[in-house]
Chain A
Amino acid sequence: MFDFAIIIESLPEFARGTLLSLELMALSLLAGFVVALPLAVARSSSILWLSRSVGMYTYLFRGTPMLIQLLLIYYGLSQFQWMQDGWESGNPVLLLFREPFFCAWLAFALNTTAYTTEIFAGVFKNTPVGEIEAGRAMGMTHFTLLRRIVIPAGLGRAIPTYSNEVILMLQGSAIASAVTLVDLTGAARYVYSRHFAPFEAFITAGIIYMLLTFCLVGIFRMAENHWLGHLRPRTSPDKQR
């Protein structure tokens, strides 16, 4: 008793939801990437207080569920009088916190920044010593070394781990519906409450999430072939004979 009519009727809702999910994910990943780069350099640095303070941040956001972070930002902050006064008087910065989209974006971005920082810091720390020595021998300054060797080579090696973070972000964005956003999961809940058809609603959303994940995996495989091709195990011409 699977009702296809419900799914077909609700396709516009699912399409809008998918778009919002992708938008949220892309914007938070973008912010996460940009902010995580300098933070990862700081985290992998040998200056202890710098590394430790970034470590505190990543510990805080990796140690708590993203849903809690989102609820704190959306419902938690709006409880305070200064926030409500800010909305009343039209404070442009505080007004952002009134929008569920901004709150979700902020929570997701802070969260993914924390994870991405640790991923990048890990690969930066594991830069082969020889490469750094070679750079030093060429007379590179610390900054040039980072710019020419540590960061580009590290980002390449980070692709497989980072692709996991991107996929987890897509799945994690499902909690956006907790703050009234009609993302893909929100659309499924809406269809569910309209037609009392949980199986149809959630299987459709599930399939769309799966297709999106499949595309992401494909994109990262292409990226790996492009930037990590030299690390692939090769068969020697001798053996091919």
Chain B
Amino acid sequence: MRKLIAAGALLAMVMTGAQAKEWTSIRLASEGAYPPFNGLAADGSLNGFDIDIGNAICAEMKAKCVWVKQDWDGMIPALLARKFDAIVASMSITDERKAKVDFTDKYYASPLALFAKAGATIKPDAAALKGKKVGVQRGVVADNFATKYWEKQGVKIVRYAKQDEAYSDLKSGRLDAVFADYLEAQGGFIDTPAGKGYAMAGERMFGKTAEEKAVIGEGIGIAIRKQDADLKAQMNKALAALRSSGKYDVIRKKYFPTLDIYGE
């Protein structure tokens, strides 16, 4: 009986603790396969723009950051299962995802773009891509867009578990093009030695109609559980402070010296 009471008291402590959490320690998750936003260092630790932003937010909140590496497929389910508290992995804020999780304000914005062999004549619209094989990472915004607007028009969409696998198949010639986040593909593929001879085909895509804009999303945010409204408020405050103090731009210039990736 005494054990039971002790257990009950412990449970009550844990539960009230969760309600008025001070967030002195935050577990952040990233993928580590999306450079320059999140990649893996030689020792296996996470690094990149997302990681620097996450660390800066923690520093602003005076909280301790613990990073967790998580594959993209299981990212949102793992957040909901409390394996970590926030996703800082270049996740676009979309209506579909908002049904499951909450987002902070955007910390950068990124259009979509099509990438192919330099000099290729294709461009990102359904008519020009008809019958062509276009690689996307499964479940990302580029996949959602291509599935909604291109696949039924006869464009062959090939889905990969990881973005790097799509680049690999583009280089070997299995794919005619890769459709991806512009900044990610530019920094993680085109500007690297592996991307030599490849370039963006056509224009960057921000979405022409309101419906397209909704699919592409309002920008990239940090995903958190819906019940953690206090965490969201604190992170938004920290993010605003980073923007106004110029610390954001210092981090941004480290990865994108000439490009303003925040947008309006």
Measured CB to CB, the residues of A under 8 A from B are 75, 78-79, 83-84, 87-88, 98, 177-178, 180, 182, 189-190, 192-194, 196, 198
Is A180's CB under 8 angstroms from B160's CB?
Answer: yes
For the complex, give the distance between the alpha carbons of A123 and B74 in Å: 45
Which applies to chain B's interface (DSSP): helix, strand, loop or mixed? helix
For the complex, give the distance between the alpha carbons of A99 and B143 in Å: 21
Q: Taking the nearest CB of chain B, how far is it from the CB of A81, in angstroms? A: 10
Measured CB to CB, the residues of B under 8 A from A are 73-74, 76-77, 80, 97, 100, 138-139, 143, 158-161, 165, 168-169, 172-174
Is A196's CB under 8 angstroms from B159's CB?
Answer: no
Q: Taking the nearest CB of chain A, how far is it from the CB of B173, in angstroms? A: 5
Q: Taking the nearest CB of chain B, how far is it from the CB of A178, in angstroms? A: 7
For the complex, give the distance between the alpha carbons of A180 and B158 in Å: 7
Is A88's CB under 8 angstroms from B139's CB?
Answer: no
For the complex, give the distance between the alpha carbons of A79 and B100 in Å: 40
Is A178's CB under 8 angstroms from B77's CB?
Answer: no
Q: Which residues of B contact A83 (CB under 8 A)?
A: 172
> Which of A75, A78, A177, A193 interacts with B139 by CB under 8 Å?
A193
Q: Which residues of B contact A98 (CB under 8 A)?
A: 173-174
Is B76's CB under 8 angstroms from A78's CB?
Answer: no
- 17 A-B residue pairs with Cβ-Cβ distance under 8 Å, sorted by A, are A78-B168, A78-B169, A78-B173, A78-B174, A98-B173, A98-B174, A177-B161, A178-B161, A180-B159, A180-B169, A190-B138, A193-B139, A193-B143, A194-B139, A196-B77, A196-B97, A198-B74
Is A193's CB under 8 angstroms from B138's CB?
Answer: yes
Q: Which residue of A lies closest to B159 (CB)?
A: A180
Q: Which residue of A lies closest to B81 (CB)?
A: A198
Given contacts A180-B158, A180-B159, A190-B159, contact A79 B74 (CB under 8 A): no
Q: Which residues of A contact B74 (CB under 8 A)?
A: 198
Is A193's CB under 8 angstroms from B173's CB?
Answer: no
> Which of B143, B160, B173 interacts with A87 by CB under 8 Å?
B173
Q: Which residues of B contact A84 (CB under 8 A)?
A: 172-173
For the complex, give the distance between the alpha carbons of A180 and B134 in Å: 12
Sorted from nearest, which 10 A-B pairs have the closest CB atoms? A193-B139, A78-B172, A196-B76, A87-B173, A198-B77, A193-B138, A180-B158, A196-B100, A84-B173, A98-B174
